[in-house]
Amino acid sequence: MAAMRGVLLQHLRVRLTSCSVVPPLSFSFCDLLRRRFSDEVKGSFLDKSEVTDRVITVVKNFQKVDPSKVTEKAHFQDDLGLDSLDAVEVVMAIEEEFGFEIPDNEADKINSVDIAVDFIASHPKQSDHPFCINLRKRPRL
């Protein structure tokens, strides 16, 4: 049986002629998918410097704040002299600026400009996400 197999394999062998070798691609299909996914994810977050500028502008425009005291590290109560109700109003103004609602348990933690910036920069842009519905901006029926 083994002899018959050997004879059969000799006749079935395909001879290859040498041809030009195609250089390998510098990236694989998986790399391409990974790169595309990374760009989509990266694009769904706001740039931290843009978030900082917008948050500082919102805080400076709040009527009870002295604009000269607003910095990237300014604390709402200690540095800007706001009470807790004013801090809530600032967070609401920030929500309006960025077009999404900050959950109450997270909003309670936001007591300075840098914490607000960190929170917003670490969350995807809500308005650009196709599955996100901003209930405050929906027309009422």
Of 53, 83, 108, 128, the catalytic one is 83
What whole-number distance in Å separates Cα of residue 120 and Cα of residue 55? Answer: 9
Grouping H, G, I as helix, E, B as strand and the rest as coil, residue 110 is coil
Gap between the Cα atoms of 120 and 32, Å rounded: 29
Quick one: which of 12, 102, 15 has its CA closest to 55? 102
* 47 a catalytic residue: no
Please state, in angstroms and rounded to a whole number, the distance separating the CA atoms of residues 28 and 32. Answer: 6
Positions marked active-site: 83
